[in-house]
Amino acid sequence: MSAQHEYHFSDRHFKHIAKLVYQHTGIHLKEGKEELVYSRMVRRIRALGLATFDEYIELIQSGHDAELEEFTNAITTNLTAFFREKHHFEYIKDVLMPALLAEKKKKGEQKIRIWSAGCSSGEEPYSIAMTIVDLLPAYWDVKILATDLDSQMVEHSAKGIYDLNRLEKVDKSLIKRWFKQGSGANSGKVRVAQQLKDMITFKQLNLLHDWPMQGEFDFIFCRNVIIYFDHATKAKLCQRYAGALIPQGHLFIGHSESLFRVNDDFKLIGNTIYQNQGVKA
C-alpha cells in the first residue's frame, strides 16, 4: 500500500487508526478508506515533524489531548450548504412551526428549543434561524443549539463568515437581508447578521459523550452524521434523541440515511423526517 507514499503506511496502520477513530468519534472507516486516512493523517505527521505513522499512533494512544482534538478534526467530513435538502426547511415553515406554535399557545408556553447536531461550519443552524425568525411571536424564548465534534468547525460557525460563492443557491432577498458583504481585505466574503447569530449557541460536543443540555428539544437536525456510524452507534444515538425530544418532537436526518431497523421510537412522517412516538423509557 505504501509504495507511492512519502511515509510508510500499511494495512496495520490503517486498521489501528480506524480503531482509534471509532473509539473517539464513532466514525466507522470501512475498507477502501485507506487513501482518505493517509491523506488526512499525513498532514498531522508533517505538522508535528514526526517521522513515522507508528510515532503518530503512539502519540494518539498516549491520550495527548491537544493532538486528539487535531486528530478528530482531521478525520471529520464537513460537507454542508445553506438550505441543504430544501424540503426540510419548507416543512418547518409550512407545517411544523404553525403546528408547534399553535400547540405551545394552547399550553400557555412561549419557549422553543432546537438542536442542530453535527452542524459543521454553521450553514445548517443559520438556515434554520432564517426559516423561523419571521414566524416567531415577539418575546418568545427561542434558542437554537448548534454543536459539532470538530472544534474548528464550531469556531467557523460562531464567526459566521463565509465565501460569497457559498450563497449561490440562496434566495437574493435572504442574502440582502441577512448577509453583509465584506470590502477591502474581506471582499468576496459575507458576514451573517448579528440577529441570526444571537438566536444560536455554538458548542463543541461529541455526540458519543454525555450531553450537558437540560430540557427537551422541539426538533433536532442530525443530518448526514449517522451515515458515518455503524448500526449499534446509530441505534444508541437515536434512542438518546428520542429521550431528548418533546413527546411529538421531530428528528430530521440526511437524504441517504434511514432509521429503518435502527430505531422504533420514531415514525417516518415525510421524506427523511421522523416524529417521536412519545414513549419515554
We find the least distance from the C-beta atom of residue 137 to ligand SAM, in angstroms, to be: 28
148 is catalytic: yes
Residue 86 C-alpha cell reads as 430544501
Question: Parallel, antiparallel, or unpaired: how do β-strands 273-276 and 245-252 relate?
Answer: antiparallel
Q: Between residues 110 and 206, which has the closer beta carbon with respect to ligand SAM? A: 206
CA distance 27 to 226: 8
Q: Between residues 149 and 259, which has the closer beta carbon with respect to ligand SAM? A: 149
Instruction: List the catalytic residue out of 40, 44, 84, 223.
Output: 40
Assign 3-state DSSP to the chain and report helix, strand, coil percentages, each to 5.
45, 20, 35
Beta carbons within 8 Å of 170's beta carbon, 6+ residues apart: 82, 83
We find the least distance from the C-beta atom of residue 180 to ligand SAM, in angstroms, to be: 23
Q: Between residues 101 and 146, which has the closer beta carbon with respect to ligand SAM? A: 146
Q: Between residues 34 and 150, which has the closer beta carbon with respect to ligand SAM? A: 150
Phi/psi for 14 (5° steps) reads -60, -50
Q: Between residues 127 and 276, which has the closer beta carbon with respect to ligand SAM? A: 127
CA distance 253 to 4: 39
CA distance 150 to 154: 6
Nearest partner of 119 among 276, 263, 224, judged by Cα:
224
Phi/psi for 85 (5° steps) reads 55, 65
Phi/psi for 273 (5° steps) reads -120, 125
Contacts with ligand SAM by CB under 6 A lie at 25-27, 76-80, 84, 118-120, 124, 148-150, 153, 206-208, 223-225, 228, 254
Helix intervals (H) in the chain: 11-25, 34-48, 53-61, 65-75, 86-91, 97-107, 123-132, 151-159, 172-178, 194-197, 231-244
Q: Between residues 77 and 239, which has the closer beta carbon with respect to ligand SAM? A: 77
Instruction: List the catalytic residue out of 84, 113, 148, 223.
Output: 148
List, by residue number, the catalytic residues: 40, 148
